[in-house]
Amino acid sequence: MIALLSILSFLLTGLFLLVNIYIIKGWSALKHPQIKPDGFTTKVTVLIAARNEEEKIHLTIEDILAQDYPKHLTEIIIVDDHSTDRTPAIISSYAERGVQLLQLNEDKPLNSYKKKAIAEAIKLSGGDLMVATDADCRMGKKWLATVVGYFEMEKPVMISSPVSYFEEKSLFERMQSLEFYSLIATGGAFIGNNRASTCNGANLAYRKDVFYEVGGFNGIDDLASGDDELLLQKVAERFPGQIGFLKLYDAIVFTHGKADLKAFLQQRRRWASKSVKYKDKKIVALVVGLWLFNVSLLFNFVAGFFNAYFFKVFAIQFLLIFVLELILLFPVTTFFKRRKLLWLLAISIPLYVIYFVYIGLLGNKGKYHWKGRMVR
């Protein structure tokens, strides 16, 4: 029995090793892109779906209005998703500066209000390139020009751009940042390997005609989440090799991690819920395999108290994780100018293993709270 469990553990460890080598290779394959510096011609629509964001949405709007992209080529549409605070009033106060407010008025309950909000904004839009972000994000003045400069130079049909946490106030939030960089790098790496699978909707751009050509959110609108990854996968299936990852610092948008464990787990559970709709079942199988690898880590650690041999297996697995994560995250944190976070790696890994197993068990089951609603 011990031999069988050991073989299984090492097989799963081999899978983990191969996946991480694939991600490291993919991130390295993302070269410094060429962008058009000026002479832009693309009409852009910046899309935001907002619900109860009165605390920070004015900062996001101010950042977008401060972009150095030509104003006559910029359209801003913010959809208020039935907010119960001052969010609509704050958005309306920017009307004279060209910010358009669209208010959802759904009389029947939906499970995917955000997708509905984005789809309605796209209907109203006059732009050729949709640039989606979130109502609590911050960005530098060159953000939009960098995205469009890449679009006009390379002609991708969809652009996934980097997202970073910032302004951390606790050790917990800094640990989230390090883990989040690994997720962003994974999305970029799969694009670098010409197998687009994941992205982040806080910084996603796509051609309007492509959105309609793939049927928009049809077929994926029964889940609350997935306005980013599931749409990307539809586009990747229809336009293979035509999705780009914009590996430039000026293209980053910044947002905040979760302040407490409950909010963090709710967010990760929401993210995990999308996996049931992944078109590429090989990716689903891969995620399951990685989940089993983490289960084997926990098993070997606990079993080590009864048989010291399992501690040795656990130690080998942990060392491999640490080395591979360090190899990946060194260039990634260098790109994000956050290399100092690497010292958290040793304590982040054990906690990551526990939460990954936990979320894997609960992510696709039942309903969860999001923005004050119970959704699935």
Q: Phi first, then psi: give them for residue 50, nearest 5 degrees.
A: -125, 140
pLDDT of residue 222: 74
* Chain segment 256-310, per-residue pLDDT in tens: 999 998 888 888 887 777 666 677 777 888 888 999 999 999 999 999 999 999 9
What residues contact residue 31 under an 8 Å CB cut-off, 6+ apart? Answer: 247
pLDDT of residue 257: 94
pLDDT of residue 312: 92
Beta-bridge mates of residue 133: 48
Average pLDDT, stretch 237-252? Answer: 96
The mean predicted confidence, pLDDT, of the chain is: 91
- Please answer whether residues 232 and 196 qualify as being in contact, where contact means their C-beta atoms are separated by less than 8 angstroms: yes
* Rounded percentage of the chain residues whose pLDDT exceeds 70: 93
Average pLDDT, stretch 68-93? Answer: 96
State yes or no: pLDDT of 373 exceeds 60. Answer: no
State yes or no: pLDDT of 376 exceeds 60. Answer: no
**Among 129-133, 243-247, 274-278, where is mean pLDDT lowest?**
274-278
pLDDT bin (cut points 50, 70, 90) of residue 365 is low
Average pLDDT, stretch 191-199? Answer: 94
The strand ranges marked E within the chain are 44-50, 74-80, 99-103, 129-134, 138-139, 158-160, 163-165, 204-207, 243-245, 253-255, 368-370, 373-375
CATH number (3.10.20.310, 1.10.3720.10, 3.90.550.10, 3.30.499.10) of 33-173+193-261 reads 3.90.550.10
State yes or no: pLDDT of 138 exceeds 90. Answer: yes
**Among 189-193, 351-355, 370-374, where is mean pLDDT lowest?**
370-374
Count of CB atoms within 10 A of residue 224's CB? Answer: 23
More reliable by pLDDT, 136 or 370: 136
Q: Beta strand 373-375 with 243-245: parallel, antiparallel or unpaired?
A: unpaired
Taking CB atoms within 8 Å and a gap of at least 24, the contacts of 324-330 are 324/16, 324/17, 324/20, 324/21, 324/24, 325/20, 325/182, 325/349, 327/20, 327/24, 328/20, 328/23, 328/24, 328/27, 328/182, 328/185, 329/178, 329/181, 329/182, 329/185
Q: How far apart are CA 217 and CA 227, in angstroms?
A: 7
Average pLDDT, stretch 134-140? Answer: 96
pLDDT of residue 360: 82
Q: Which residues in 245-259 are b (16+ Cβ under 10 Å) and which e?
A: bbbbebbbbbbbbbe
More reliable by pLDDT, 369 or 85: 85
Average pLDDT, stretch 350-375? Answer: 72
State yes or no: pLDDT of 374 exceeds 60. Answer: no
pLDDT bin (cut points 50, 70, 90) of residue 3 is confident
Q: Beta strand 204-207 with 158-160: parallel, antiparallel or unpaired?
A: antiparallel
State yes or no: pLDDT of 371 exceeds 80. Answer: no
Average pLDDT, stretch 55-72? Answer: 97
Handedness of CA 12, 17, 22, 27 (dihedral sign): positive
Q: How far apart are CA 320 and CA 307, in angstroms?
A: 21
* Rounded percentage of the chain residues whose pLDDT exceeds 90: 74
Instruction: Kindly state the DSSP code that residue 254 receives in the 8-state scheme.
Output: E
As to burial, measured by CB atoms within 10 angstroms (0-12 exposed, 13-18 middle, 19+ buried), residue 131 is buried
State yes or no: pLDDT of 161 exceeds 90. Answer: yes
pLDDT bin (cut points 50, 70, 90) of residue 366 is low
State yes or no: pLDDT of 110 exceeds 70. Answer: no
pLDDT bin (cut points 50, 70, 90) of residue 325 is very high
- If you write DSSP's letter for every residue of 10-71 in order, what string do you get? HHHHHHHHHHHHHHHHHHHH--------S-----EEEEEEESS-TTTHHHHHHHHHT-SS-G
Taking CA 33 as the corner, what is the angle to CA 31 and CA 35, rounded to the nearest 5 degrees? 175
* pTM reported for the whole predicted model: 0.92
pLDDT of residue 221: 76
Average pLDDT, stretch 341-364? Answer: 88
State yes or no: pLDDT of 220 exceeds 90. Answer: no
Q: Phi first, then psi: give them for residue 256, nearest 5 degrees.
A: -110, 145
Of 96, 52, 104, nearest to 79 (Cα)? 104
pLDDT of residue 21: 96
State yes or no: pLDDT of 147 exceeds 80. Answer: yes
